[in-house]
Structure 1
Amino acid sequence: MFKRMLSAFGVGGPTVDTVLDSPTAMPGQTVTGRVSIQGGSAEAAIDQIVLSLVTRAEAEHGGHEAHGVAEFHRVVVQQGVRVAPNQRLDIPFQLPLPWETPITAVGPTQLPGMTVGVRTELVISAAPDKGDLDPLTITPLPSQNAVLDAFGQLGFTFRSADVEIGRIHGIPQQLGFYQEIEFFPPAHAAGRVTEVELTFVATPGGVWVVLEADRRRGFLQPGGDAFGRFHIAHAEAETTDWAALIGDWLTQVADRGPAFGGGMNPAFGGGHAPNPAFGHPQQHGHYDPHHHGHERRGPGMGGVIAGAAAGAIGGMIIGDMIGDAFEGDDGGDDFAEE
């Protein structure tokens, strides 16, 4: 909740309170709520009330990493608002979430480092008056959750998550960034693969699943990254045997030689070589969701992330995490180098 006096009007000015009907949503859904304005001692004129979605993101340039607040969606709630002395106005709003909105929680557990917020901005005489952020918890779509559960069943261990500025070659992104969820591999692959990164790019019709494995470099072993990509309709993704599919991909990546390195896989550029991720070149990376492999059962991704995140989160609540992550934000999208 954001409640503050508008600094442009000084003492006696109106106060604004932004309230979300629910603090939890999934990508593609619409967040609703209201902006409540309580008039002060004098009449006030507000040119625009704007809501925006922001997240913490990283960018790499010149060999350095830069971190900052990235705005990725804006909605003008209302224009030309006049507030009489002591008048109360409740202005309802609808804020559609892009399908590529980053996931910030799996089950009841917040992903360490992941933050998404709704920022309220009031434009008064062409000058923005920006307030604090309302935290928003973004949970996976059912299609995404099916993939995450498979990671848990296979014995992956959650490592970290972040948002990176950039685009993935060959994937139809709408936003200028993508989320990476990083995992340590299962024990049987730990000696040959150091980590696996998972990226979702969702659309109204389906979801892209992009995998990147960092193969351990050793004596007489080329190492390097191996990539895989996959696209499927949301409904089919919920019934696909992802544990078998990802398990087979990981086995191939861990066991095979240079052919499974980066460069030739069409997911990340270079030629039209068979996609090694899912083993069916004639299907161009598509998988038959009606074919089910060996059934594997495990704790599921919620349990895996909960266990790994407990130490990182400690006693913090989501409001504290949002405040810490956006501390020092001046309302812009500038990035500070590290």
Structure 2
Amino acid sequence: MVFKRLLGSLGVGGPTVDTVLDSGPFLPGGSLTGQVHLQGGSADFDIDHITLELVARVEAEHEEGESEGAIAFERFTVAGSFRLAEGERRSLPFTVALPWETPATELHGQPLGIVLGVRTELSVAGAKDKGDLDPLTIGPLPAQEAILEALGQLGFGFKSADLEYGHIGGTGQTLPFYQEIELAPAPQYAHAMRELEVTFLANPGGMEVVLEADKPGGFFSGGHDALNRHAVGHEGAAHRDWSAAVDAWVRQLVAHRGHLAASAPYGQPGPCGEGSAHKDNHGHHGHEHHGGHHSGPGMGTAIAAGAAGLAVGVAGGLVAAEVVDEIGDAFEDEGDEDA
């Protein structure tokens, strides 16, 4: 998208900028590439810097309820100071590293309802202006895709995905928010949970997989959440029996009541300890959080079916794909400040 709003302090004839990303999807921890195209104005201008911001639409829980807003979670300076001559056209290629915890926005080409964008900031003569947002498409890492496919094969159905502002205690989370992928329970676990939530926290050495079950309450007790965590490596995702591993994780989750069960080091199966866990949303509150095999469609098939409005292991369907097309509208209320 070209941002042609002129810098307020420059008046008519200021420079314009157009950031064009290379074809995605990009991967967490991988390279984000593209070019920044500049068009000089009616005079020479001294460019202070050009910065790219990664922006996400997140949900935040607080004492008054829940709200949504935009938050910038990474910044990259892709050009330092230089002079842009009158009418000059200049293209600046860039390659920057995405955070490992960047959330996936699609699976098998189907949008998950997560809204991410890249915003370009142009600083000229001490004045800064932030341009429009370019949609950012992120695919899952191989291990993430394999785990979601295994859950689909076990009979879990995709419901929705969102970004929650806050931290999951006891994890190595670095971003100020985390992604929750909400699944309807497989038939063999329907008696033990109302919903399963999956969070991936990747890092250069591997990935933490956080599973949370919303357990139903009894006649005299309310429901509660149970959570466990498993560490896996990036290597060997294509050769592991993920259906057996994930089914064991879910069985362990059902058996434990609100504990954080940490797996062995990356690449080694099996639990090695427990600890408490909680989610802290903006500091307002914290709480403990986050049978057999069932032959059925994989998660990719289930999500594709949800996008088509079909009932193939999907409860609730997908968030409308238009949310990605209308990314500008999703952020229009953020103003000059991030959430």
TM-score normalised per structure 2: 0.83
Q: Determine if contact 2:261/2:273 at 8 Å carries over to the other structure.
A: no
Give the letter aligned to residue 101 of structure 1: T
Contact 1:243 1:296 in 2 (8 A): no
Q: Which of 259, 262, 265 is the aligned partner of 2:260?
A: 265
Distance, in Å, in 1 between the alignment partners of 2:321 and 2:139 is 21
Aligned to 1:303: 301
* Aligned equivalent of 2:176: 176
**CA deviation profile, 1:245-271 (whole Å, cap 9, x unmatched):** 3323434555x5xxx221x4356xxxx
Mapping for residues 213-224 of structure 1, pairs under 5 Å: 213-219=213-219, 223-224=223-224
Q: Partner amino acid for 1:97?
A: L
- For 1:186 and 1:37, the matched residues in 2 are separated by 52
For residues 264-312 of structure 1, the C-alpha deviation after alignment (integer angstroms, 9 at most, x for no partner) is 4356xxxxxx9xxx9955x348xxxxxxxx9865321111112223455
**Matching residue's letter, 2:224:** G
Task: Report Cα offsets for 1:38-77 as digits up to 9, x if no partner.
Answer: 1122222221110011111122222422311111110111
The 2-side partners of 1:252 and 1:30 are apart by: 36
d(CA) in 1 for partners of 2:270, 2:220: 29
1:316 to 314, 322, 330: 322
How far is 1:193 from its partner?
0.9
RMSD: 2.6
5 Å-filtered alignment, 1:146-225, equals 146-219=146-219, 223-225=223-225
Once the 2 structures are TM-superposed, how far is the Cα of residue 234 of structure 1 from its aligned partner? 0.8
Range with bigger deviation, 144-153 or 37-46: 37-46
Contact 1:52/1:71 (<8 A) preserved: yes
> Matches of 1:65 and 1:29 in 2, distance apart?
32
Matched, 1:234 2:230: no
1:329 and 2:339 correspond: no
Instruction: Quote the offset at 1:194 in angstroms.
Output: 0.5
Displacement after TM superposition at 1:230 (Å): 0.4
Q: Determine if contact 1:121/1:128 at 8 Å carries over to the other structure.
A: yes
- Kindly provide the amino acid, as one letter, of the partner of residue 57 in structure 1: V
Shift in alpha-carbon separation, 1:315–1:93, aligned structure 2, 3 A: closer
**3-state secondary structure, aligned to 1:138:** coil
1:64 paired residue number: 65
Equivalent residue, structure 2, for 1:288 = none
Query: How many angstroms apart in 2 are the aligned matches of 1:253 and 1:315?
Result: 32
Greater helix fraction, Structure 1 or Structure 2: 1
Whichever residue aligns with residue 194 of structure 2, its letter is T
Q: Which residue does the alignment assign to 2:20?
A: 19
Q: Contact (CA 8 Å) 1:2, 1:134: kept in 2 or not?
A: no
Question: Is 1:122 matched with 2:118?
Answer: no
Partner of 1:138: 138
Q: Which residue number corresponds to residue 291 of structure 1? A: none
Question: Structure 1 CA distance, aligned partners of 2:82 and 2:325?
Answer: 30
Aligned partner of 2:147: which letter?
Answer: V
User: Relative to structure 1, is the Cα distance of residues 153 and 206 closer, same or farther in structure 2, using a 3 angstrom cutoff?
Assistant: same
Q: 1:310 to 1:200 in 2, by over 3 A?
A: same
Q: Say whether the 8 Å CA contact 2:155–2:294 is kept in structure 1.
A: no
* 1:271 equivalent in structure 2: none
Pair 1:213–1:126, CA change in 2 (3 A)? same
Q: Distance in 2 between matches of 1:304 and 1:331?
A: 39
Name 1:289's counterpart in structure 2: none
Identify the range of structure 1 (304-313 vs 191-200) with the bigger mean alpha-carbon deviation. Answer: 304-313
Q: Which runs of 5+ in 2 are unaligned?
A: 275-291, 310-317
Cα distance, 1:237 vs. partner? 3.6
Identity fraction in percent? 48
Cα deviation digits, residues 66-120 of structure 1 (max 9, x gap): 31111111011112232111111111112210000011000110012x0111110
TM-score by length of 1: 0.83
**Separation (CA, whole Å) in 2 of partners of 1:128 and 1:23:** 28
Change (3 A) 1:250 1:221: farther
Amino acid of the structure 2 residue aligned with 1:143:
A
Match of 2:281 in 1: none
Show CA shifts across 1:158-193 (max 9, x none).
111111122212211221211111111012322331
Structure 1 unmatched ranges of 5 or more: 268-273, 286-293
8 Å Cα contact 1:217-1:224 kept in structure 2: yes
Corresponding letter in the other structure for 1:325: A
